[in-house]
Amino acid sequence: MTPPLSIDAARFLGRLGSLARIGRDAQGRLTRLAASDADRAGRDALAAWMREAGLEVMVDRIGNLIGLWRPGGRDGAPVMMGSHIDTVIDAGAYDGCTGVLAGLAVVETMRAAGREPARPLAVAAFTNEEGVRYAPDMLGSLVAAGGLAVEEALATVGTDGTILGEELARIGYAGPHEPGFLRPHAYVELHVEQGPVLEREGIAIGAVEDLQGISWQEVTIAGAANHAGTTPMAMRRDAGVAAAQVVTWLRERARAGNGRSVATVGRLRLEPDAINVIPARAVFTVDLRDPDAARLSALEADFAARLAAVARAEQVTATVRRLARFDPVAFDPGIVRAIEAAAGARGLSTRRMTSGAGHDAQMMARICPAAMIFVPSIGGISHNPRERTADADLVAGANVLLDVVVRLSGADPASPSAGAGA
Ligand code: HGY
Ligand code: MN
Ligand code: MN
């Protein structure tokens, strides 16, 4: 039996630390929003590491950054690894970057060991996975998977009024390749869990078999500005009060479900935002998720009905703009089994999981067999500067990714090239 390879842990962890230092503001907060100057700096660092590793570095029109190793110059559908390096605001260091840098470490390990795969290997950093500046999230991988026309994606207007295509050009990452120019043989993504399950159960590796549905909407409630002191309560058309009623209702509705539905209002602004003016407008976002498609649709329908009822009662108007809508996704059972087998062979505990977060893997699953590997998040915390995963867990996840990719790409002499449904 060929002994298992292992990644260069120090180099992998060192790069994670280096990337985590790119995009810090004066208060030390990490924010690398898609197509920002900080994103450019992160992309430049990653592209340099890819080139040092001997990969061909390619960028497509939506800015997806892909490193490709074609052993012996052979073409063919690659086994692809990847994730994203854009972040939310005041982010942690591991979300997305773990999967991209682990993919790079896997390629470097196989090249150094002379373990040539039967097919090319690719490492992708997809554009705008977070969706904080431009909606929807997973935008780059959605375009690569053919789920959104690149022209439409490039025309996306950001929360700051910028146009994605112009920003990509400004940072030098409006690439020449058509999105989807590389159609993978299989896709595997390592990611921190971002939730409490693995840590709570003392499990080292999550074999992610599905990912929940996601619904993003922006709601605008229009009432009437008026004087805070002179306007009797009965005469008010207060957009702020209407929004507050909907926000608290959402939490109760999500709680009343089966314990799997979640609802989040992450952005909320009142206009004109003055202490002594009854809010004329309230603009807020609604993020709804559920692993079950029917339950998610029911949650959306209940929300729409509640919003209409509150609008009538408060004599305001409510309009909704759809920002994202993705059904639940099932991953490839064969790759999930390969993840479990790789973890087991390394003596790592594992369990099957559903992903609560959205990931690029859910888009790649539209065009090839795909699955994900999770490693524990300390305290289940993510999208927060306190996001942490133990070094040993990060390295263990990267080594499981290595084993799965060795198997999927036919680089393991002990087990000839397994199909994607390994
Ligand atoms: O929203 C998400 O689940 C991901 O972080 N984009
Ligand atoms: Mn992520
Ligand atoms: Mn994220």
Angstrom distance (rounded) from CA 65 to CA 344:
32
pLDDT band at 4 (very low <50, low <70, confident <90, very high): confident
Considering every ligand atom, which ligand is closest to the CA of 356? 1
Number of residues written out for the chain: 422
Q: Using CA of residue 204, residue 263, residue 386, residue 10, what is the dihedral sign?
A: positive
Atom of ligand 1 nearest to the CA of 194: 5
Q: How far is CA 382 from CA 88, 91, 92, 230, 377, in A?
A: 10, 8, 7, 45, 8
pTM above 0.85, yes or no: yes
Closest C-alpha to 36, from 96, 97, 89:
89
Atom of ligand 1 nearest to the CA of 138: 6
Count how many Cα atoms sit within 13 Å of the Cα of residue 259 in the half-sphere of its side chain: 0
pLDDT of 306 strictly over 80: yes
Query: Model confidence over 151-190: pLDDT tens digits?
Result: 999 999 999 999 999 999 999 999 999 999 999 999 999 9
Mean pLDDT of the 344-372 span? 98
Query: Model confidence over 246-267: pLDDT tens digits?
Result: 999 999 999 997 779 999 999 9
CB distance 130 to 34 below 8 Å: yes
Q: Is 129 in the pocket of ligand 1 (CB under 6 A)?
A: yes
pLDDT of 229 strictly over 50: yes
Atom of ligand 1 nearest to the CA of 357: 3
Angstrom distance (rounded) from CA 304 to CA 123:
41
Residue 197: burial class (beta carbons within 10 Å; 0-12, 13-18, 19+)? middle
Q: How many helices (H) and strands (E) does the chain have?
A: 12, 14
pLDDT of 17 strictly over 80: yes
pLDDT band at 113 (very low <50, low <70, confident <90, very high): very high
Q: Is 358 in the pocket of ligand 1 (CB under 6 A)?
A: yes
pLDDT of 410 strictly over 80: yes
Is residue 280 helix, strand or coil? Answer: coil
pLDDT at residue 412 in the model: 75
Q: Is pLDDT larger for residue 411 or for residue 15?
A: 15
Give the domains, in start order, of the chain with CATH numbers. Answer: 9-211+328-408 (3.40.630.10), 213-326 (3.30.70.360)
Closest C-alpha to 218, from 121, 125, 307:
307
Q: Is 131 in the pocket of ligand 1 (CB under 6 A)?
A: yes
Q: Considering only CA atoms, which residue is closest to atom 1 of ligand 1?
A: 358
Q: What is the mean pLDDT of the chain?
A: 96
pLDDT at residue 222 in the model: 98
Angstrom distance (rounded) from CA 325 to CA 287:
10
Angstrom distance (rounded) from CA 168 to CA 113:
37
CB distance 374 to 192 below 8 Å: yes
Query: Model confidence over 320-336: pLDDT tens digits?
Result: 999 999 999 999 999 99
pLDDT band at 127 (very low <50, low <70, confident <90, very high): very high
pLDDT of 397 strictly over 90: yes
Mutation test of ligand 1: which of 84, 86, 98, 137 has the most ligand atoms closer than 8 Å to its C-beta? 137
pLDDT of 421 strictly over 50: no
pLDDT at residue 259 in the model: 79
pLDDT band at 74 (very low <50, low <70, confident <90, very high): confident
pLDDT at residue 414 in the model: 58
E-state strands within 233-365: 262-264, 268-271, 281-290, 317-326, 329-330, 350-355
Mean pLDDT of the 286-296 span? 97
Mean pLDDT of the 265-281 span? 98
Percent of the chain with pLDDT over 90: 95
Q: Using CA of residue 327, residue 332, residue 336, residue 337, what is the dihedral sign?
A: positive
Q: Considering only CA atoms, which residue is closest to atom 6 of ligand 1?
A: 130
Q: How is residue 187 written in tokens?
A: 């896709």
pLDDT of 344 strictly over 80: yes
Which residues keep their CB under 5 angstroms from ion ligand 2?
95-96
Angstrom distance (rounded) from CA 148 to CA 131:
14
Mutation test of ligand 1: which of 130, 211, 355, 372 has the most ligand atoms closer than 8 Å to its C-beta? 130
Query: Model confidence over 20-53: pLDDT tens digits?
Result: 999 999 999 999 999 999 999 999 999 999 999 9
Mean pLDDT of the 98-117 span? 97
Q: Considering only CA atoms, which residue is closest to atom 2 of ligand 1?
A: 358
pLDDT at residue 385 in the model: 98
List the alpha helices (DSSP H) in 78-232.
97-112, 139-144, 150-154, 164-170, 197-201
Mean pLDDT of the 66-79 span? 95
pLDDT at residue 418 in the model: 41
Cis amide prior to 291 (ω within 30 degrees): no
Q: How is residue 353 written in tokens?
A: 């999981």
Q: Considering only CA atoms, which residue is closest to atom 4 of ligand 1?
A: 358
